[in-house]
Chains A and B, each alone.
Chain A
Amino acid sequence: GAVVSQHPSWVICKSGTSVKIECRSLDFQATTMFWYRQFPKQSLMLMATSNEGSKATYEQGVEKDKFLINHASLTLSTLTVTSAHPEDSSFYICSATKKETSSGANVLTFGAGSRLTVL
C-alpha cells in the first residue's frame, strides 16, 4: 500500500525561529504532494501544491515567503515555516498522490500530521 511519512509529529519552537516539516512517500514516487493546514475542529485547508522539480503553487491568501515549500525529489517535500509566530500554531498535514493501476484514478494518501506550537 501507499505510505506517507511525516516528521516531526510534534514540534514546539520559540517565536521568530523557523521550523521544517518533512513529508516522504515511502513506497511510491509522488510527482505531486499537497500541504494542508487544519485548525481545531475544522476541515483541512489546502495551502499549496508541491511539484517535483518546479515551484510550488500556493492557494490564495497563503504567504509563499512564510511557508517555503521544496519538492527536492520524487519522494520528499518539505514545508518550512519561517519566522514562526504564535498564530502559525496549527496542525499541518501533507498528502501525496498515487495513481491506482487498476482504475487509473489518483488517490491521495495522507501523512499523520505535524502539530506545531509556537511560543
Chain B
Amino acid sequence: AQSVTQLDSQVPVFEEAPVELRCNYSSSVSVYLFWYVQYPNQGLQLLLKYLSGSTLVKGINGFEAEFNKSQTSFHLRKPSVHISDTAEYFCAVSDRMDTGRRALTFGSGTRLQVQP
C-alpha cells in the first residue's frame, strides 16, 4: 500500500517569488511519482512525472521536481510564479509493478495562491 502526504494545504506567495510545494510518500515497493495541477472546475493536468533516470524532472509551465529516495520526497518547485499559477496541486504515486489496473494514490492537495 502507498500513501502520499502533502504537508501544506495552502501556500500563499507573491507574484515572481519562488515557491516549493512539499510531497512525501510512503511505499513498500518502487514507485512512479507525479504532480498534477487542477484549475477551478477542471480536471487534472499532468505537470511532470518521475519514472526513472535523472532525479530532477522538468515539467510544463516552468515547474520542476526532485525525487529524493532517501527522504522519500518529491517536492515541486518554481523559481518565479505568476498569477496564472494559482490552482490546486496534487502529488500522486503509482506502483512500478502496476499493470495499469490500479489507480494512482493522491495526496490531499495544496492550494497555491499567488498574490500580486
**Chain A interface (Cβ < 8 Å from any Cβ of B):** 4, 6, 31-32, 34, 36, 41-44, 46, 49, 51, 91, 93, 95, 97, 99-100, 103, 105-113, 115
Contacts and interface: CB of A to CB of B under 8 A. Distances in A.
Given A32-B101, A34-B103, 15 more contacts: A4-B43, A6-B43, A41-B111, A42-B108, A43-B108, A93-B44, A95-B44, A97-B100, A97-B101, A100-B51, A103-B51, A103-B52, A108-B103, A109-B46, A112-B43
Interface residues of B, number: 27
21 contacts: A4-B43, A36-B103, A43-B90, A43-B106, A43-B108, A46-B103, A49-B101, A93-B43, A95-B44, A105-B49, A105-B51, A107-B34, A108-B46, A108-B103, A108-B104, A109-B46, A110-B43, A110-B44, A112-B42, A112-B43, A113-B43
Contacts of B49: 105, 107
Given A112-B43, A113-B41, A51 B51 contact: no
A31 B100 CA distance: 8
A111 B38 CA distance: 11
B99 interface: yes
B63 interface: no
A32 B99 CA distance: 10
Contacts of B103: 34, 36, 46, 49, 95, 108
A11 B34 CA distance: 30
A99 B100 contact: yes
Contacts, number: 63
Task: Report whether over half of chain B's contact residues are helix, strand or loop; otherwise say mixed.
Answer: loop
Contacts of B45: 110
A111 B43 contact: yes
Nearest to B104: A108
B57 to A, nearest CB: 12
A96 B79 CA distance: 32
Interface in B73-115: 90, 94, 96, 98-104, 106-109, 111
